[in-house]
Amino acid sequence: MFGLDQQAILQQMQQAAEASKKRLDETTVSGESGGGLLRIEMTGNRTLKSVEIRASIKDMEKEDLEDLLSVALGRALEAANQLNEQEMSSSARQFIPGL
């Protein structure tokens, strides 16, 4: 099926992918909304780490809180997706010239 060289390359690719996944798990990104009233943190692999509300929710309308959560989550996901794409591209460049 595969020659020894191809198997070695596949193993290296698998190791590089695992290393990238580990780096992404150890990297935190965040998204904020409402001028910092709400902050969401997640890993580069898009795992939610925390939600911080820096205001009294007693004073907020339900819809306002939902909007703040939606915006902050969207920003955190965008940052995580961008970081994930950069990491995977960097990892792939080792094996596929011209990327």
The pLDDT confidence band at residue 74, using thresholds 50, 70 and 90, is very high
Write the pLDDT tens digit of every residue in 18-43: 988 999 999 999 999 999 999 999 99
Q: What is the pTM of this model?
A: 0.81
CA torsion, ordered 28, 29, 35, 38, to nearest 10 deg: -60
Where do the domains of the chain lie, and which CATH numbers do they carry?
4-93 (3.30.1310.10)
